[in-house]
Structure formats: C-alpha cells, structure tokens
C-alpha cells in the first residue's frame, strides 16, 4: 500500500489517498513477477516521499519569495522617512552624561531603599522583643494592637531619621545616607569570597569585583557564590585570564550550615534504604497491594527532606549573593556613589569568556580588565548606555509596527476579498512575520531610516562645527547623533533578507533534484513494466502453442467420433430394415421418436 498526497496553495487544501496494488504480491507464484512487483511498489513508495517533500518545498519557496509590489515599497520608504524625522527631532544625540547621572541616582536610591528595609525590619523586631520582655516582667502580654502600634512608630522613626540624612546630604553635598546604607548591606549580606583576592598576584581592591566571579550578576556568578558558601572556596580569574581557587577556611556558622544540609541528606538516605529493603523483601506483596502511583509518590516523599534542604540552601545563598551585589552597586563605603561598582552583565560575560581557552591566550583578558579598571565601565555605565540605546530604539520600534501593521491590514483585506468566509482565510499569508515580502519591506524601511539618520547627523555636526572637517569635535558630534540601534536593525534586516534568498535558491535546487529523481524512478518503473510485458508475451506464446495442440487433438477426436457415428448409423440402418420387415409399425414410431 502506497500513500500519496496532493496539495493546492491557491485553494489551500490537501487531499490524501492510498493506492492499493491490483494483484497481491503474496499470491504471485512466479518469482520473476514477484520481484518486479516488489520493485515497482518500492519505487511507488519513494515517489510518494518525493512528492510530499516537493509539496513542502513549494510552500517554503512561496514563503521565501518576495511578492512585494510598488505600493509596498512606497509604504516602506514612507515609514522610514517618518521614523527618520522622529529620530532627528525627538531623539537627538546620545547624552551619556545625563543618562549616567540618572542611572546613578536610581541605583543609589535602590541601595538606600534596600538598606532601609533591612534596618526597619531589624529595628521593629528589636522593639517588639524589648516590649515583650517589659510586658512579661509585669505579667502581661502584648496584644496585636500593641504590636501594630510599635511597628508603625518604629517604621516612622526610622524613616524620619533617614530623611534627616538625605536633607543633610542635599544641604552639604555629602553622601552619608548612601554610605550608611552600603555599610548596613555589607554587614547584613556577607560574601564568603569578598576578600579572597588579597595576596594574589595581579589582583587588587580596584579590580576584585571583576576578578571574583561571585561578584558577577550572571548565572556563573551565582554558581561561584554557591561554591564559596557551601565549599568555602573563592573562584577568581586574574587580568591575564588565569584561574585561581582560594580556600577560605571554615567557622562555626559554616558547621551549622553543613549540618542543616547533611541531616536531611541522612534522613532521606535512611528512608530510601528502608523503602528499598521493603520492596526487595516483600516485592510481590507490595506490587500486588500497593498501586504503582502510590509507590512513586512514596519514593518521591522519601527525597523530600533532601529537596527542601537544597532549595532552602540555594534560596539563602541567592538572597545573600544578590544582597551583597546590591551593596557593591553604588561603590564602596569609602567612596559612596563615586567608586567602582560591580561589573555589568556585558562586561561580566566578556570576563568569563576571556578565561576560557584559547581566548585566555589572546589580548581579550587585558582588554576586559582595562575596560573595567581604567575606563570605569561598571554596571551603572552599562545601564546608562542601555538606557540611551533604548531611547534610540523608539523610532525603530515605531517603524516595525507601522510596516507590519500595513502588511497585516492589506493582506487581510486581500484574503477577505478572495474568500467567501473569514474562516477560509489563510493566515500564513496575513501574519507579518517569517516571509520574504515583509523581510524586504523591513530592509527598505530600515535602510531609508539609516540613510536619513546618517545624513541628518552629518548635516547637524557640520553646521555646529562650521564645516571644519579637520575638527575632531565634528566627528564626535557625528557619532553621537548616529542611531546605532537603527544601523543594527538595518544589518539584521539585510541579513534576514539575504538569508531567505539563499534558502530559497537551495530549496529550488533541491526541488529540481527531486523532480529529476522522480522522473528517473518513472523510467525505472517503465523498464520493469517492459520486462513484465516480455514475460507475459512469452507466457502467451506458450499458451497459444498449447491451445493449438489441444485444438489438433480435439479435431482428431472429432473426426474419430464422426467415423464411429457413421459406422454406428450404418449398423442402425441395417437394424431398422430388419425391424421394418418384421414390424413396420414399430419402425414408423421409432423414426418419429428419432425425428423428435
């Protein structure tokens, strides 16, 4: 049995049917015919697969074909012009200093709020405990209203004290409130590897946030923090890309933490061992009386103490790790708001990549170190740059939305006009993604935008510098006004368009190859049918010769029977004459019977 499928992209339907052989191969006794029929069935199966693949290729080729017309191009250019004007008059040039100032203020505020939350919680707890002791001395207990009142009074007192620090800093130009917050966070969230860099060559306090992986706001930074907290080992990478593992030693708090993790492991191990003993000793009874789901739940519950302990430990490490990173975001307590903070996500990933061979044998490790230590590119600067790039992305997003919305509306109207019901709409032709037409329109839109943006940047920088092409400021102003997000989006659009064109060519070549293979298989089938015809012709010749022999035998047999009948008729005539002579009436009756 061979399966076939036919599809039509114009009517958007697909029909599948099965072709059954006229003769069952299993009932064919002739080995030659059986071999021919099996070969033809195998070819039919291959052709079925080829037909299915060609249908898939036709769908892909149609998707990868640019069907944009002049109106589509006009709309794409218009959207690019509109977004270019938006970028020129509303986005303007990069203002990194202002962005850094705002980012610095937000991070300082976040650090202060985080510290005040901890300070308020600790102060409220101490106040409640103190009030409970005083009430216990006179034989009383604090009511819920008393506790709520203490929380409210203490919270307001802590907030008032913090506002005083803020007012003094605003008045005197100091940063005592931020310094106080950093100190509080450092006391509350202590990182095991915080001082692991001391004594190691090529590391110092200025770069230890970059060198100590536990200070990275990345997944591997969290792993390094877990290693430091659980195994008391600092994981560091120096400016040359060399790894260092620093053992930190243990104290009483580490012993307590280990016991909190080991005890659940022992409990889970004992429970699992008991379950295994019971299952091995009473396996038949257990399998018979206890359902399989219950057995699985029991085995899972045996691991619950271990899972809970691990999750609790990871949560505690994560909370402590993130809290420490917050304490280092705004600099150190000696230079709050101005010192080096933790590296950003981009620099942290670069640092981690630069420590992997063979990259650690290149100049990348030193470049990353200089980027952080000399150019002061920490988390605050990275966020400031991302903020400016986000501002530059506004016209880019608007352009994407405009072009894709136009494509969606136009093609939806076209589909509705060609279909009788909205249920028959082919949404693959309407959704403005993953097809060559929208890719080409985005290439034109982003290319137009980039051309206008670069032209605007060149004109404005030339005007502001009186056309002095030898002035370095002219080129600085030009770079600051260029929309780098737009250039990146244009590069992505061009790459996507070219990639779709390449994929289309590859699919067309594959389709041609499959069609040629299909025709070759048809030719092979023809040869098999010719062979079968010759076999049938030979069998027909043999059958005709056998028929001739039978016909000859039948003719001889017929001739013999005629002779025998003539002889018997002569004998019968003699008998009739004899009977006629003796009984004429009987002869007449006999003749009448013979005539009947």
The pLDDT value recorded for residue 156 is 93
For 540-569, write each residue's pLDDT tens digit. Answer: 888 788 888 888 888 888 888 788 777 776
pLDDT digits (tens, 9 = 90+) for 65-118: 999 999 999 999 999 999 999 999 988 888 888 888 899 999 999 999 999 999
Query: Would you call 510 helix, strand, or coil by DSSP?
Result: helix
The one-character DSSP state at 141 is -
In which band, very low, low, confident or very high, does the pLDDT at 55 lie, cut at 50, 70 and 90? Answer: very high
Residue 146: how many other CB atoms lie within 10 Å: 15
Judge contact between 243 and 356, C-beta under 8 A: no
Helix 379-418, helix 436-464: angle, nearest 10: 140
Please tell me the predicted confidence (pLDDT) of residue 549: 81
Strand bridging mode 233-237 / 13-19: unpaired
| Tokens representing residue 446 in the block | 């982003």
Q: Give the pair of three-digit tokens for residue 454.
A: 């670069």
Q: How far apart are CA 166 and CA 176, in angstroms?
A: 8
pLDDT of residue 1: 46
Q: Cα–Cα distance between 95 and 392 in angstroms, integer?
A: 11
Q: Tens of pLDDT along 462-480?
A: 998 888 878 888 888 888 8
Least trusted range by pLDDT, from 59-68, 103-112, 216-225, 331-340: 331-340
- Please choose, from the candidates 119, 132, 328, the residue with its C-alpha nearest in 3D space to the C-alpha of residue 217: 328
Percent with pLDDT over 90 in the chain: 42
**CA gap 395, 90 in Å, rounded:** 9
Burial of 480 (0-12, 13-18, 19+ CB in 10 A): middle
Burial of 266 (0-12, 13-18, 19+ CB in 10 A): exposed
Let me know: does 89 contact 156? Beta carbons within 8 Å: no
Contact 19, 41 (CB under 8 A): no
Q: Are 246 and 196 in contact (CB under 8 A)?
A: yes
- Closest by CA position to 348, among listed 318, 388, 378, 385: 378
- Nearest C-alpha neighbor of 212 from the set 230, 231, 233: 233
Q: What does residue 66 show for φ and ψ, rounded to 5 degrees?
A: -80, 115
- Asked whether 18 and 2 are in contact (CB, 8 A), the reply is yes
Give this prediction's pTM.
0.70
Burial class (CB in 10 A: 0-12, 13-18, 19+), 176: middle
* 581 contacts 595 by C-beta, under 8 angstroms: no
Distance CA 40, CA 492 (A): 49
How many angstroms separate the most distant Cα atoms in the chain?
171
Ranges assigned E (strand) in 93-199: none
Residue 9's pLDDT is 45
Report d(CA 534, CA 524) in Å as an integer: 16
Q: Which helix (H) or strand (E) holds 102?
A: helix 96-137
**Is 510 a residue whose pLDDT tops 90?**
yes
Strand 243-247 relative to strand 233-237: parallel, antiparallel, unpaired? antiparallel
Phi/psi for 358 (5° steps) reads -90, 5
Q: Do residues 211 and 238 lie in contact, with contact meaning Cβ atoms separated by under 8 Å?
A: yes
Whether residue 584 is predicted with pLDDT greater than 90 in this model: the reply is: no
Residue 20 has pLDDT above 70, yes or no: no
């Amino acid at each position: 049995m061979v399966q076939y499928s036919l599809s039509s992209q114009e009517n958007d339907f697909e029909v599948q049917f099965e072709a059954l052989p006229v003769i069952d191969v299993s009932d064919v006794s002739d080995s030659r015919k059986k071999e021919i029929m099996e070969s033809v069935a195998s070819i039919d199966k291959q052709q079925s697969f080829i037909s299915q693949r060609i249908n898939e290729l036709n769908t892909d080729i149609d998707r990868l074909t640019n069907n944009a017309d002049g109106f589509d191009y006009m709309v794409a250019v218009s959207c690019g012009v509109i977004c270019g004007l938006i970028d020129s008059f509303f986005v303007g040039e990069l203002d990194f200093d202002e962005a850094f100032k705002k980012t610095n203020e937000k991070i300082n505020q976040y650090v202060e709020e985080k510290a005040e939350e901890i300070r308020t919680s600790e102060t409220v707890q101490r106040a409640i405990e103190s009030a409970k002791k005083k009430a216990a001395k006179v034989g009383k207990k604090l009511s819920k209203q008393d506790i709520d009142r203490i929380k409210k009074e203490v919270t307001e007192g802590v907030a008032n004290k913090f506002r005083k620090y803020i007012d003094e800093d605003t008045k005197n130009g100091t940063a005592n409130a931020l310094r106080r917050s950093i100190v509080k966070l450092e006391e509350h969230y202590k990182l095991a590897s915080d001082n692991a860099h001391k004594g190691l060559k090529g590391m110092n306090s200025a770069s230890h946030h970059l060198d100590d992986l536990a200070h990275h706001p990345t997944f591997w930074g969290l792993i390094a923090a877990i290693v430091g907290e659980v195994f008391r080992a600092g994981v560091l990478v120096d400016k040359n890309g060399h790894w260092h593992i620093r053992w930190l030693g243990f104290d009483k708090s580490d012993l307590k933490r280990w016991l909190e993790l080991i005890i659940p492991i022992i409990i889970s191990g004992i429970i699992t061992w008991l379950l295994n003993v019971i299952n091995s000793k009473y396996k038949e009874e257990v399998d018979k009386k206890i359902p399989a789901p219950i057995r699985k739940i029991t085995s899972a519950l045996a691991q619950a103490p271990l899972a809970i302990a691990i999750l609790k430990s990871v949560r505690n490490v994560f909370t402590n790790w993130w809290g420490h990173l917050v304490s280092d975001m705004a600099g150190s307590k000696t230079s709050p708001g101005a010192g080096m903070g933790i590296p950003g996500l981009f620099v942290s990933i670069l640092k981690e990549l630069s420590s992997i061979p063979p990259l650690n044998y290149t100049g990348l490790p030193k470049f990353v170190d200089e980027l952080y230590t000399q150019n002061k590119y920490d988390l605050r600067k990275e966020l400031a740059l991302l903020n400016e790039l986000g501002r530059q992305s506004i016209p880019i997003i608007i352009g994407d939305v405009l072009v894709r919305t136009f494509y969606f509306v136009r093609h939806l109207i076209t589909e509705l006009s060609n279909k009788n019901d909205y249920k028959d709409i082919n949404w693959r032709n309407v959704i403005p993604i993953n097809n060559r037409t929208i890719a080409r329109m985005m290439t034109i839109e982003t290319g137009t935008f980039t051309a206008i943006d670069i032209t605007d940047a060149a004109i404005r920088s030339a005007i502001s510098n009186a056309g002095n092409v030898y002035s370095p400021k002219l080129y600085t102003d030009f770079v600051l006004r260029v929309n780098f997000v737009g250039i990146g989006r244009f590069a992505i659009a061009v790459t996507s368009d070219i990639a779709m064109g390449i994929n289309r060519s590859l699919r067309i070549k594959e389709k041609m190859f499959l069609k040629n293979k299909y025709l070759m298989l048809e030719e092979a089938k023809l040869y098999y049918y010719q062979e079968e015809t010759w076999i049938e012709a030979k069998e027909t010749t043999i059958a005709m010769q056998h028929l001739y022999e039978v016909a000859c035998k039948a003719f001889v047999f017929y001739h013999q029977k005629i002779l025998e009948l003539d002889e018997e008729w002569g004998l019968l005539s003699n008998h009739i004459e004899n009977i006629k002579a003796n009984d004429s009436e009987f002869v007449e009756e006999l003749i009448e019977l013979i005539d009947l």
